[in-house]
């Protein structure tokens, strides 16, 4: 049973998944910092100095000046400022992933496939690229290497 477990864990896709999860966690920390420390402050300035982390709706009858005070008192709140920050965070992650995948796809340009057939110059039928005699009209053909050299 241990050998089977070891074989399962050492398969490439399990290792790849583990690396992806660890990289994703590190990437999440970077994106959270980008949103919190770089993107949200200018947005806050543009909106008149609003601190998104302090935007909340108090569902109790008692007034609280800050979200921290309301949470410390155990008051029910709707923290829509945190939701706005999460939406911005999602948009940043989605944009970065879009450009990352677009770059990867551009780097993986499809290779031109090597031809596997050629046309007989006498009867115009398709034959194997390595053929030296046409199976249809029995004409003698140039070897494939000579044809490739003449095309260069």
Q: What does the pLDDT read at residue 57?
A: 94
Tell how far CA 68 is from the center of its chain: 37
Q: What does the pLDDT read at residue 116?
A: 85
Q: What does the pLDDT read at residue 5?
A: 77
Altogether, the residues listed in the chain come to a count of 152
| Superfamily of structural domain 2-107 | Large-conductance mechanosensitive channel, MscL; domain 1 (1.10.1200.120)
The residue extents of the domains of the chain are 2-107, 117-151
78 and 59 Cβ atoms separated by less than 8 Å: yes
104-112 long-range contacts (CB < 8 A, ≥24 apart) are none
Mean pLDDT, consecutive 10-residue stretches, the chain (152 aa), reads 78 77 86 83 84 88 91 94 86 83 82 84 89 88 62 53
Q: What does the pLDDT read at residue 145?
A: 58
Q: What does the pLDDT read at residue 79?
A: 93
């Amino acid at each position: 049973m241990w050998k089977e477990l070891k074989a399962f864990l050492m398969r490439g896709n399990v290792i790849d998944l583990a690396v992806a999860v660890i990289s994703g966690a590190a990437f999440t920390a970077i994106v959270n910092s980008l949103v919190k420390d770089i993107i949200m402050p200018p947005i806050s300035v543009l909106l008149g100095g609003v601190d998104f982390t302090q935007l909340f709706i108090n569902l109790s009858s008692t007034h609280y000046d800050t979200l921290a005070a309301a949470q410390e008192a155990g008051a029910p709140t709707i923290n829509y400022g945190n939701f706005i920050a999460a939406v911005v965070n999602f948009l940043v992650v989605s944009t970065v992933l879009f450009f990352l995948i677009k770059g990867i796809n551009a780097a993986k340009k499809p290779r031109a496939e090597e031809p596997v057939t050629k046309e007989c110059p006498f009867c115009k039928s398709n034959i194997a690229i390595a053929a030296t005699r046409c199976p249809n009209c029995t004409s003698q053909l140039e070897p494939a290497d000579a044809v490739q050299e003449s095309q260069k």
